[in-house]
Structure 1
Amino acid sequence: MFKKLFGKKENVEQLLAPMNGKIVKMEDVPDPVFSGKLMGDGIAILPEEGLVVAPIDAEVVQVFHTKHAIGLKTKSGIELLMHIGLETVNLKGEGFEVHVAEGQRVKAGDKLVTFDIEFLKSNAPSIITPIVITNGELVEKVEKTDSTEATINETEIMSIALK
Structure 2
Amino acid sequence: MLKKLFGGKKSVEEQMVAPLDGKIVSLDEVDDPVFSQRMMGDGVAIEPTGGKVVSPVAGEIVQLFPTNHAVGIKTKSGVEVLVHIGLETVSLEGEGFEGHITTGDKVNAGDHLITFDMDLVREKAKSTITPVVITNYDDSVEQFHPSYMDGAHAGESTIITVKTK
Q: TM-score band, normalised by the shorter chain?
A: over 0.9
**1:72-118 CA distances to partner (integer Å, 9 max, x unpaired)?**
00000000100000000000001000000000000111100000010
Alignment-derived partner of residue 20 in structure 2: 19
Q: State the secondary structure of the residue aligned to 1:67.
A: coil
| CA positional deviation for 1:28 | 1.0
Alignment-derived partner of residue 3 in structure 2: none
Alignment-derived partner of residue 79 in structure 2: 78
TM-score (norm 2): 0.91
Aligned pairs for 1:7-156 (under 5 A) are 11-136=12-137, 137-156=139-158
Alignment-derived partner of residue 6 in structure 2: none
TM-score (norm 1): 0.92
| CA positional deviation for 1:147 | 2.2
Structure 2: segments with no counterpart, 5+ residues: 1-9
**1:34-85 CA distances to partner (integer Å, 9 max, x unpaired)?**
0000000000001111110011111000000111100000000000100000
| CA positional deviation for 1:10 | 6.2
> Please, which moves more after superposition, 48-57 or 9-18?
9-18
Percent identity, aligned pairs only, is 51
- Equivalent residues, number: 155
Larger radius of gyration: 2
User: Could you tell me how far apart the structure 2 residues matched to 1:10 and 1:33 are?
Assistant: 28
User: Could you tell me how far apart the structure 2 residues matched to 1:28 and 1:119 are?
Assistant: 22
**1:97-151 CA distances to partner (integer Å, 9 max, x unpaired)?**
0000000000111100000010000000100000000001211011011323311
User: Could you tell me how far apart the structure 1 residues matched to 2:78 and 2:160 are?
Assistant: 16
Q: State the secondary structure of the residue aligned to 2:160.
A: strand
User: Could you tell me how far apart the structure 2 residues matched to 1:141 and 1:162 are?
Assistant: 7
